[in-house]
Amino acid sequence: MPDDELLPPPIVSPDLYDDNYFRHACGGSEVWRESGGTKADGIYPGSLTRARLQPGEVVVDIGTGRGELLAVAVKMGAARAVGVEYASAAVEMAHRTLEAHGVTDRAKVILADARAIPIDDETADLVTMLDVVEHLAPEELAGTLREARRVMKPGGRILIHTFPTRTIYDWTYRWQRALSPTKRKTWPAQPRNNYELTMHVNEQTVWSLGKSMRAAGFTNVKTELGEWVYTSMLPDQRACRLYHRLARVPFTPIKALGVSNLWGSATR
């Protein structure tokens, strides 16, 4: 395990991830906020089902945020769930989540840098990283993936989700804007919101995510497009139809122009 005191400072400061971000801008925030932390967005049980979580397994969730995945994992039969999070605001919220779900006997959250996880080698049957990789610069992602692999048991599994893709912004949006004189005048040159401009330092494509996972030493690497179509950045809502049409095309290079989320999975 790397010494976190020797690591360079994170590219994105943990101080930027404040209470307001996790309550209002982070995925799943509406469900958490309206339920007081007692309910979890569907992405958490859906992700664990996708990862084939089995009763009795140990789960490590890197970038756990408010901690919903930990609570859901325990309720789905995990023997133990450990969250790793470097933002203090999130750790406090995760403690509240675990208490609200009554799972503090089997789940905990650790304040730590994902590049130096204070967990023993070969601990986890399953490692999850939901909407984390886009917040890590390439060298940070490489270190985090190596740490993820280190804490996995031989034959253990990793599941990654990332949103939004680089493709929908740097290809589809810019292509639409470039081809229309009207759009060039009325559409912003930069489609990303303020949070994305500040925090998303490494948006992915199907191919870049797979390359990073293989470089970290994972086997059976599979990256695939998800199911989401994101169009909130479009000033002209009529343009939304194009994203939905592209997302229905079965050919991956075309489909990637419309789908906004990616999944990655692999084994150690």
Residue extents of the structural domains in the chain? 4-162
Residues 21-40 have a mean pLDDT of 96
- Kindly report, residue by residue over 214-256, the tens digit of the pLDDT: 999 999 999 999 999 999 999 988 889 999 999 999 999 999 9
- Kindly report, residue by residue over 54-65, the tens digit of the pLDDT: 999 999 999 999
Q: State the fold for domain 4-162.
A: Rossmann fold (3.40.50)
Residue 92's pLDDT is: 98
Provide the token pair at 109. 């959250």
Secondary-structure percent of the chain, ordered helix, strand, coil, rounded to 5: 45, 20, 40
Contact of 192 with 83, CB cutoff 8 Å: no
Rounded to the nearest angstrom, the gap between the alpha carbon of residue 252 and the centroid of all alpha carbons in its chain is 21
Residue 14's pLDDT is: 97
The pTM of this model reads 0.96
Residue 237's pLDDT is: 82
